[in-house]
Amino acid sequence: MTPPTLSTDTLHWVLDTTGFELLFGLKNETTKEWLFRYEVPLANQRSHSALLVPLLKEACAVAKVQLHQVSRLTVCIGPGSFTGLRAGLATVKTLGQWMPALAITPVTVFERVRLQAVLSHKIAPPASLTILLDAKQNRLYTATWWESAGWEAPQFMMLDDWLKIHAPAQQQGWLIVNESLLAVVGKQPLPIITVEELAPVALEALSLVCPAPVTWQQLAPLYLQSPNITVKKTIIKDVC
């Protein structure tokens, strides 16, 4: 059998199943070349589970590599759809069990979006950056990043409460919001950019994440790690 052509290269999966758009890619970190990219809106998050395994096989075939050659994997852990998170993390945990040497790096959607803003060059380096993600039904996920201190604890809250409590205190920095929130938060005296404007560099941002990896046993969605982001079942069923 002919030996794999990329055996000495560092191959890196990136995966985000937290939203209606499935983000999936395979990058050769040695050459900085994308070997496979998939960035497609889905009809619903339940499509993630049906697509992930076929995509893994297709990516390996297109890139002409074997699955066990991939040494790194970056995965989004939320916030986002409970169904999408379950599909993505279950797939990653399975890979981790089968490939013990796989370095798994978890990343929040907040950090992914922050890195997208850095890559896009659309905003000047801010002292602070607040991200608002639409959780539907007048609810949102929010987190603020400070250049001097890093991330504050993420929050799940009512949009009206954020407008009353948090917006007046944020007189500097930037807001990054979903387009669906613009009609309300667009009235704030802060420069704003939308998550959708940053979408073209989402996969690239995921590939830049570099915190220490975790084992597949340690991998957990954000809503299990942070009590402030957990959504009560009595409030909303399928968003966590």
What one-character-per-residue DSSP string does 152-220 give? Answer: PPPEEEEHHHHHHHTGGG--SSEEEE-GGGHHHHTTSSS-EEETGGGGGGHHHHHHH--SPPB-TTT--
Q: If pLDDT is split at 50, 70 and 90, which confidence band does 188 have?
A: low
Q: Using alpha carbons, list the distances in angstroms from residue 178 to 11, 76, 135, 182, 221.
A: 32, 18, 10, 7, 21
Would you say residue 169 has pLDDT above 60?
Answer: no
Question: How much is the mean pLDDT over the chain?
Answer: 86
Would you say residue 21 has pLDDT above 60?
Answer: yes
Average pLDDT (198-224) is: 91
Would you say residue 71 has pLDDT above 60?
Answer: yes
What is the pLDDT at residue 167?
A: 57
Would you say residue 187 has pLDDT above 90?
Answer: no
Q: If pLDDT is split at 50, 70 and 90, which confidence band does 70 have?
A: very high
Write down all domains in the chain, each with its CATH number in brackets: 11-107+210-223 (3.30.420.40), 110-199 (3.30.420.200)
What is the pLDDT at residue 17?
A: 93
Coil vs helix vs strand at 18: coil
Whether the predicted model's global pTM rises above the 0.95 cut: no
Would you say residue 170 has pLDDT above 80?
Answer: no
Handedness of CA 59, 36, 40, 44 (dihedral sign): positive
Q: If pLDDT is split at 50, 70 and 90, which confidence band does 46 have?
A: low
Residue with tokens 């490939």: 99
